Chains A and B, each alone.
Chain A
Amino acid sequence: MLDFLNRIFGRESNQSRSVAKERLRLVLVHDRIGVSPQLLQSLKADLIQVITNYMEIDEDALEVTLDSSENQVALVANIPVRRMKRKFQTESA
């Protein structure tokens, strides 16, 4: 019955349009990783640049991966810290 009402009033929740969009969004996250392996490399370089403003890290041991489970893709970074910087500088400083 609720489903019927939702249809009549064109509500979106739980309807196949949003399900489709969500599934598509997710599948493309996976697909696009496959298409551009340079992306992670470039992300890694950018990360190093930002993080070294705050702490000294072991750049060679730095690991960045995309972990995908069934309904989520997570960016996982393992960044060994050597030491914190006493004075940190930000972009604006």
Chain B
Amino acid sequence: MLMGEVIVVTSGKGGVGKTTTTANLGAGLASLGSRVCLIDADIGLRNLDVVMGLENRIVYDLVDVTSGNCPFRKALIKDKRFENLYLLPAAQTKDKTAVSPDQMRALCQEIKNEYDYVIVDCPAGIEQGFRNAIAGANQAVVVTTPEVSAVRDADRIIGLLEKEDLREPKLIVNRYRYHMVRHGDMMSIDDIIEILAIDLLGVVPEDEMVVVSTNRGEMVVTNNQSRSGQAYRNIVRRIKGENVPMMDLEEGGFMRKLRRMIGLK
């Protein structure tokens, strides 16, 4: 019997990249051979399915499972592109109160017997949706962008996670723009880490390829040309326990092209 990790991906603030992160970590872990089940806990605002391109295959959802209408195995959608990747979609027509923390805890307990990783995509906010999403988790990833409001919410979330005994959550800084940091117009990774006092799991650069991939229902982690894909692949290996150095954030953009053009790399 497997005893998988249940990782909740959370942020406080909406729109910072939780769903994108969940999809890419799932695809990345699955492509390295792990058995992965993703749970969309954003009840009423289902969107992990569209980000993954699986929206047309939904029959049952999370609430069908927690309310006992169908066993979880029957509700899982198998991603055909990745051998070991499954999605349990959120209910779209219900609201957050349709699930309780106890139900989520029991569900995660059941699923993690059969998967290496269960990754829960958390809704924004700190209300019941958040409480449900973290209930069954034994690890937490906090996503933020380098903005005052997002980091502030991340700080609040870290406090709440620690209260719920999810100690030592790990941070992903998303939509990092190196040239802005260099020009003194964006907080740096060091600034953010210093303020939040939390371990860094990875940095994902701002990258149009995220949007392009998402438009197609694909995950950028499988795109070998993209820098955000590389960032996600590194994060995936760190989750699997490998010691992967932080990628050179300086690369990318105009200067890299210039250096390549004049043969400096």
A18 at the interface (CB under 8 A from B): yes
The secondary-structure label for the interface of chain A is: helix
Given contacts A21-B195, A23-B148, A24-B148, A15 and B155 within 8 Å (CB-CB): no
The secondary-structure label for the interface of chain B is: helix
B183 at the interface (CB under 8 A from A): yes
0/1 string, A1-34, CB within 8 A of B gives 1: 0000011001110011110110111011001100
* Contact between A11 and B184, CB atoms less than 8 A apart: yes
0/1 string, B144-157, CB within 8 A of A gives 1: 00011001100110
* Contact between B185 and A17, CB atoms less than 8 A apart: yes
Give the Cβ gap from B163 to chain A, nearest Cβ, in Å. Answer: 8
Identity of the chain A residue whose Cβ is nearest the Cβ of B146 in the assembled complex: A20
Interface residues on B, range: 10 to 19
Given contacts A17-B191, A20-B148, A24-B195, A31 and B184 within 8 Å (CB-CB): no
Given contacts A17-B191, A21-B195, A35-B159, A28 and B152 within 8 Å (CB-CB): yes
Q: Which residues of A contact B147 (CB under 8 A)?
A: 20
Give the Cβ gap from B195 to chain A, nearest Cβ, in Å. Answer: 6
B249 at the interface (CB under 8 A from A): no
Given contacts A20-B148, A35-B156, A28 and B195 within 8 Å (CB-CB): yes
B107 at the interface (CB under 8 A from A): no
Q: Roughly how many angstroms separate A15 CA and B188 CA in the complex, as a whole number? A: 13
* Count of CB-CB pairs between chains A and B under 8 Å: 49
B98 at the interface (CB under 8 A from A): no
B187 at the interface (CB under 8 A from A): yes
Give the Cβ gap from A15 to chain B, nearest Cβ, in Å. Answer: 3
Residues of B125-175 whose CB lies within 8 A of A: 147-148, 151-152, 155-156, 159
Give the Cβ gap from B61 to chain A, nearest Cβ, in Å. Answer: 34
* CB < 8 Å neighbour of B187 from A20, A28, A36: A20
* Contact between B186 and A17, CB atoms less than 8 A apart: yes
Residues of B within 8 A of A (CB): 147-148, 151-152, 155-156, 159, 181-188, 191, 195
Residues of A within 8 A of B (CB): 6-7, 10-12, 15-18, 20-21, 23-25, 27-28, 31-32, 35-36
